[in-house]
Structure formats: structure tokens, C-alpha cells
């Protein structure tokens, strides 16, 4: 009998924390790295299933845990608790998760794009947690609104639009008009920020990608999505330092961020900065990326470091 191929669903379990219900992915550690714990904090427009291939790559070096963020991946939003999904509230949630899950353990933290913003703010608000961090990884992360490549006019438009959609009844209207599957299939791939996602995709991959995009748009709370979009477009995480070096994985061609500004801002925050550009032509792996297709987001130097028993960034 053929061996069953492992699927993301095989490693997803319920998560109930701080009064919110969601899910988390847990991949047990391989024997060679039984003591290493790796926490992945996914980015915007996400679900656990989207980052399955990415998680498999890190699972070669330790146990991987990836929790939902409130309002993302189908998890209940902060609005249920009468709170807004601010970066501070997201950071407090992540701190609660780290304190609950890891207690006396050290952990490698991998923040993906928006997830890195959350991880940074957590370490700024809870500096004692830096002692628990074995390695801090930014996977195409950023720290400041000036990191975006958008023109000032486009940035102002995006800020105004994202702010407008957070006000009721706009999230409801947006959900049942712009996010209707029929509309998404015919219009989404033509939008400014989505064109590169679909560039060069075969008809079969295009169909699979649109299937996943529809799942993502419907699994993520609309109001949370646009509130956090506005947060990203106005963020300044450079106001407080973090006593840790950061290992930054940069996309070779990033349609969202200026690489040199990302580096400048991270050097303000962190005690040191190690840059690892890859060959990717996109900000992040596609929404259907396999482990092989996500592999470039763990550079060789980082793989070597993760092979070590004790992680110590080198000069």
C-alpha cells in the first residue's frame, strides 16, 4: 500500500486563547533536532494552509508551531471582545501565546511580513521575552511605512481606502460585493497588487491560486483585514530598540518594499542585522507554494545555523 502523503490538515488542532477560538499547526520535531522549538507568525491575508509548504521547510530543524492570529485564518477577531485589532493588541496576544506555549523553553521566532511587525512589537512591549528567543528571523519583514515602494499619492489613497472600509457597514458591503467568488474570479487578478502574483501562471495553477485566494478572502475577517492594512501603511516600529540581532530574508525582487530602507529601519531597532537576499521574483511564495517552491526563503546560511545545536549569529 502506498504511503499516505501528509497534508496540512493532519497537523492542525484547535486553539482557544484569551477568549478567542482559532487553530494552530503543530509539526513534531525530527529526532535530529528534538529540542528545538520554532514559532512561525504568518503574515497578512493568511491561513495555516497557505503556509504549509513554508512550515515543512522549517520542520526539518525543529518542532514547528504556527498559530492563527485573531481575525485571520478563520480565528475569531478582537471585535468579538470589543477591541480593535491594533498592532499592540496583536503583540499582546502573541506574547500570551509564547508565555503559554514555551514557558521555560527557548524558541526560534520566524515572522512573515506583517507577522514580523507583530513579533517586533511583542519584543518591544515585553523585553523580558528576548531571553527566550534563540534566533529571530524576518521573512520579508518590515518595520516602517516608508519601507513601502508606493508613491506618496498611492500611499495616501490606500490609507484612506483601508480606513474607510473599517467603518460599518462597509465591511459587510465589501464582503458581499467585492469578495463574491464570481467577482473575485473575474477581477482580482487584474488589480495592481495582484498582477505579479499571477504572472506566468499556467491555466491550471491560475485556477488553483484563485481557489485559494477565495478561501483566504473569506477566512479572514474583512474589518480586521482592512484595519491591519491601515496599521501597516502608518506603522513606525523604530521608536524602541530590541536587544537581539535579526536574520532578514529579503526577496530578490520585492513588489512591496525598498530593501535598503528595510535594512536602515531594522538597524535602528535591532542590535545587529544579517541580510540574506534570495532569488524570488515575488514578495512571498505563492498561495499554493509547495515546500520545494518555498525553500528559497530559508537561505543556505540560515540552514547551516539551524543545524547547530546552539545558535549564535556570526559577524
Q: What is the pLDDT of residues 154-206, one digit of tens each?
A: 999 999 999 999 999 999 999 999 889 999 888 877 777 777 777 767 778 77
Residue 310 pLDDT: 47
Average the pLDDT over each of 150-154, 215-219, 231-235, 237-241 and give the range with the smallest value.
215-219
Domain ranges in the chain? 8-150+236-307
Alpha-carbon span 294 to 278, nearest angstrom: 11
pLDDT winner (highest mean) among 57-61, 90-94, 180-184, 212-216 = 90-94
Is pLDDT of 256 > 80?
yes
Assigned CATH for 8-150+236-307: 3.40.50.1820
- E strand or H helix that includes residue 190: none
Q: Is 133 exposed, middle or buried (0-12, 13-18, 19+ CB in 10 A)?
A: buried
Q: What was the pLDDT predicted at 221?
A: 94
What pLDDT is recorded for position 3?
A: 60
Strand order through the sheet with 107-112: 12-17, 20-27, 63-67, 37-41, 107-112, 133-139, 242-250, 270-277
Return the pLDDT at 211.
84
Amino acid at each position: 500500500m502506498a504511503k499516505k502523503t501528509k497534508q496540512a490538515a493532519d497537523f492542525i488542532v484547535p486553539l482557544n486563547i484569551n477568549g478567542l477560538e482559532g487553530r494552530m499547526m503543530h509539526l513534531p520535531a525530527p529526532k535530529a533536532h528534538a529540542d528545538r522549538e520554532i514559532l512561525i507568525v504568518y503574515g497578512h491575508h493568511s491561513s495555516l494552509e497557505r503556509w504549509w509548504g513554508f512550515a515543512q521547510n522549517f520542520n526539518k530543524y525543529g518542532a514547528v508551531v504556527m498559530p492563527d492570529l485573531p481575525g485571520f485564518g478563520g480565528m475569531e477577531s478582537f471585535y468579538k471582545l470589543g477591541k480593535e485589532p491594533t498592532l499592540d493588541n496583536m503583540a499582546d496576544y502573541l506574547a500570551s501565546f509564547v508565555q503559554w506555549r514555551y514557558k521555560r523553553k527557548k524558541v526560534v521566532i520566524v515572522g512573515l511580513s506583517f507577522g514580523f511587525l507583530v513579533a517586533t512589537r511583542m519584543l518591544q512591549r515585553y523585553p523580558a521575552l528576548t531571553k527566550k528567543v534563540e534566533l529571530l528571523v524576518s521573512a520579508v519583514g518590515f518595520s516602517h511605512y516608508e519601507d513601502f515602494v508606493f508613491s506618496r499619492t498611492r500611499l495616501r489613497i490606500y490609507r484612506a481606502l483601508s480606513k474607510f472600509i473599517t467603518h460599518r457597514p462597509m465591511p459587510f458591503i465589501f464582503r458581499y460585493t467585492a469578495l463574491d467568488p464570481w467577482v473575485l474570479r473575474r477581477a482580482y487578478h487584474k488589480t495592481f497588487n495582484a498582477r505579479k502574483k499571477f504572472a506566468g501562471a499556467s491555466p491550471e495553477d491560475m485556477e488553483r491560486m484563485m481557489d485559494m485566494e477565495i478561501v483566504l478572502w473569506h477566512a479572514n475577517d474583512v474589518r480586521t483585514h482592512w484595519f491591519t492594512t491601515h496599521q501597516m501603511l502608518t506603522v513606525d516600529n523604530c521608536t524602541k530598540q530590541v536587544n537581539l540581532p535579526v536574520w532578514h530574508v529579503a526577496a530578490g525582487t520585492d513588489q512591496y518594499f525598498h530593501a535598503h530602507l528595510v535594512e536602515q529601519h531594522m538597524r535602528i531597532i535591532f542590535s545587529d542585522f544579517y541580510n540574506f537576499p534570495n532569488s524570488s521574483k515575488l514578495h512571498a511564495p505563492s498561495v499554493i507554494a509547495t515546500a520545494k517552491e518555498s525553500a528559497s526563503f530559508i537561505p543556505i546560511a540560515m540552514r547551516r545555523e539551524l543545524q547547530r545545536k546552539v545558535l549564535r549569529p556570526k559577524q
